[in-house]
Amino acid sequence: MSSKLLGLLIMLCATLLVSCHQETPAISITDQWVRASAEGQEVGAAYMTITSKSETSLVKIDSSIAEIVEIHQMSIENGVMKMRMAQELDLKANTPSHLAPGGYHLMLFDLKKPLKAGDEVQFSLHFKDKLNKETVVTVNSPVKTEQP
């Protein structure tokens, strides 16, 4: 192989590598926010939109501000507001899952400090796909007094 051809091949590989890195992430988080807490309040709620390119499940959440984070679903049954815990949140490929007031949300228990507007809370979201491969996505969420 001529050195000229080899050089061309190396350049081509490098270009391919670069373009791979610029690909959009497999799981993206948008519209994330955390509701500011009232004084003395020990629980909080976080919202976001999660979109995955392939089928996966949100199985665990860690946060910088709460001891425990649970996936909750709020619904109205017979006129009564109910909240229940979901073990995991299943995501279909390329279908945004909206965690928003009145529906799914992340419930934060045992807040380490009050959630103040303007602060940021970090979450590590653990996803597991059908092959049990785990992906962790870290996201910073701004604290807001009301839904943006």
* Residues at the site binding Cu ion, with contacts judged by CB under 5 A: 72, 83, 107
Query: At closest approach, how far in Å is the CB of 85 from Cu ion?
Result: 8
Q: Name the residue with the smallest CB distance to Cu ion.
A: 72
Structure tokens at 50: 């999660």
Q: How far is CA 108 from the centre of its chain?
A: 14
Query: At closest approach, how far in Å is the CB of 120 from Cu ion?
Result: 21
By the 10 Å C-beta count (0-12 exposed, 13-18 middle, 19+ buried), 119 is classed as: middle
Query: By C-beta, is 26 or 43 nearer to Cu ion?
Result: 43
Query: By C-beta, is 8 or 109 nearer to Cu ion?
Result: 109
- DSSP letter for each residue of 85-97: EES-EEE-BT-PE
Query: By C-beta, is 28 or 97 nearer to Cu ion?
Result: 97
Whether residue 91 contacts residue 122, with contact meaning beta carbons closer than 8 Å, is answered with no
Query: By C-beta, is 72 or 126 nearer to Cu ion?
Result: 72
Structure tokens at 1: 């192989």
Query: At closest approach, how far in Å is the CB of 134 from Cu ion?
Result: 25
Query: At closest approach, how far in Å is the CB of 70 from Cu ion?
Result: 7
DSSP character at residue 96 = P
Whether residue 107 contacts residue 69, with contact meaning beta carbons closer than 8 Å, is answered with yes
